[in-house]
Chain A
Amino acid sequence: NAGVTQTPKFQVLKTGQSMTLQCAQDMNHEYMSWYRQDPGMGLRLIHYSVGAGITDQGEVPNGYNVSRSTTEDFPLRLLSAAPSQTSVYFCASSYSRHMFETQYFGPGTRLLVL
């Protein structure tokens, strides 16, 4: 198993550009989520999904869109990048929403918005 994979590893964007951060898992996990990690802050939840076709907002959803068309993939879209979105983004998955101790994190995407 590859676990949770994220692409790209690094990305530089200009303000106003859009992009999609990819996340995939091969563990047949129902629950998937996106976090951002900023210096001096704990991980903050952006969006999550409890299964294909179902998504919901987390703590900091503004400026991001998600969709879950398959169990395996959960892409995060930045609609119009802003410098405040410079961060490290982690995708995570677990068997279910309630089995959070089984949550696996991907290696992260480091995003710089100029």
Chain B
Amino acid sequence: GQQLNQSPQSMFIQEGEDVSMNCTSSSIFNTWLWYKQDPGEGPVLLIALYKAGELTSNGRLTAQFGITRKDSFLNISASIPSDVGIYFCAGQLRSGGGGADGLTFGKGTHLIIQP
């Protein structure tokens, strides 16, 4: 199936630092989603992006839909201990028919914060 390349795989940062991660694909996506998964829990939606170039914020989180429609970025400002977890991107292909069954998920970025 379709592959999403998510990087970095893991990040070790100090509390208070800003974080950046991204997802790239060889195909054009209609929609990008960013999820966070806490240890032992299921993913929770953070941000949804629908248009190329769109920049959307949710508190200290900001995500962007790349102009080429083949990438997306997530930034976290001033990280705090509760930001620890796995962050996943997911995309809906332009040719995918528009359903949840057509979502492709990245492999995740593990965020570890050192106090």
CA distance A42 to B48 in the complex (A): 18
Number of A-B contacts (CB under 8 A): 63
Count residues of B near A (Cβ-Cβ below 8 Å). 25
By a beta-carbon cutoff of 8 Å, the part of chain B in contact with chain A is: 1, 4, 6, 31, 33, 40-45, 48, 88, 90, 92, 98-101, 103-108
A14-22, A66-74, A75-83, A98-106 - the one binding chain B: A98-106
Complex Cα spacing A90 to B100, Å: 14
Most buried by A among B43, B90, B98: B43
Q: Is the CB of A100 within 8 A of B105?
A: no
Chain B's nearest CB lies how many Å from the CB of A106?
5
Interface string of A82-106 (1 = CB under 8 A from B): 0000000010101001111101111
Q: Is A12 an interface residue (CB 8 A)?
A: no
Q: Is the CB of B107 within 8 A of A97?
A: no
Q: Which residue of A lies closest to B89 (CB)?
A: A42
Closest B residue to A47 by beta carbon equals: B101
A72 to B48, CA, bound (A): 26
Given A43-B88, A48-B100: A107 and B105 interface contact (C-beta under 8 Å):
no
List the 6 closest A-B pairs by CB distance, nearest first.
A105-B42, A42-B105, A100-B100, A97-B99, A43-B105, A101-B48
In the bound assembly, the distance between CA atoms of A108 and B4 in angstroms comes to 23
- A107 and B42 alpha carbons, distance in the complex (Å): 5
A-B contact pairs, 8 of them (CB 8 A): A33-B100, A42-B88, A42-B90, A43-B88, A44-B1, A98-B99, A100-B100, A101-B45
**Complex formed: what's the CA distance from A27 to B24 in Å?**
33
List chain A residues, Cβ under 8 A from B41: 107-108
Least distance between A89 CB and chain B CB atoms (Å): 10
Which of A40, A58, A100, A103 has the largest count of B CB atoms less than 10 A from its CB?
A: A100
- Flag if A42 contacts B99 (CB, 8 Å): no
Of residues A43, A58, A104, which shows the largest number of chain B Cβ atoms within 10 Å of its Cβ?
A43
Residue of A nearest to B6 (CB): A42
